[in-house]
């Protein structure tokens, strides 16, 4: 049983996530998560020599991605009067 996964699901009060925890929440690999961090798409901070992802950065990333991938609503032409 993966106790880290259970603890992650049970404790919504975490303010900072490890890169692995953020990757697990996004259901992506650790390497992809690091790429997103290095490209600036996913916010992260350093605490000492540790890399951490703010917990609220994960849903913000998803929201930005969803907005970017949705097609813009079609504009309807207004007939000239």
The CATH number given to whatever domain includes residue 10 is 1.10.10
User: What is the rounded CA–CA span in Å between residue 45 and residue 25?
Assistant: 18
Tokens at 19, concatenated: 């890169």
- Confidence band for 79, pLDDT divided at 50, 70 and 90: low
45: in domain = yes
Average pLDDT, stretch 12-24? 94
- Residue 73 clears pLDDT 90, i.e. is over it: no
CB distance 53 to 19 below 8 Å = yes
Q: Which domain holds residue 35?
A: 3-60
User: What is the rounded CA–CA span in Å between residue 30 and residue 53?
Assistant: 12
Of 2-6, 13-17, 32-36, 49-53, which gets the smallest average pLDDT?
Answer: 2-6
CB distance 33 to 22 below 8 Å = yes
67: in domain = no
Tokens at 15, concatenated: 């303010």
Tally of domains within the chain? 1
- Confidence band for 27, pLDDT divided at 50, 70 and 90: very high
Looking at residue 7, its pLDDT comes to 53
């Amino acid at each position: 049983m993966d106790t880290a996964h259970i603890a992650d699901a049970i404790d919504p009060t975490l303010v900072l996530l490890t890169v692995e925890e953020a990757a697990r929440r996004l259901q992506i690999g650790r390497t992809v998560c690091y790429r997103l961090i290095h490209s600036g798409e996913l916010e992260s901070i350093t605490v000492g020599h540790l890399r951490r992802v703010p917990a609220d950065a994960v849903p913000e990333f998803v929201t930005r991605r969803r907005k970017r991938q949705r097609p813009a609503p079609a504009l309807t032409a207004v007939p000239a009067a």
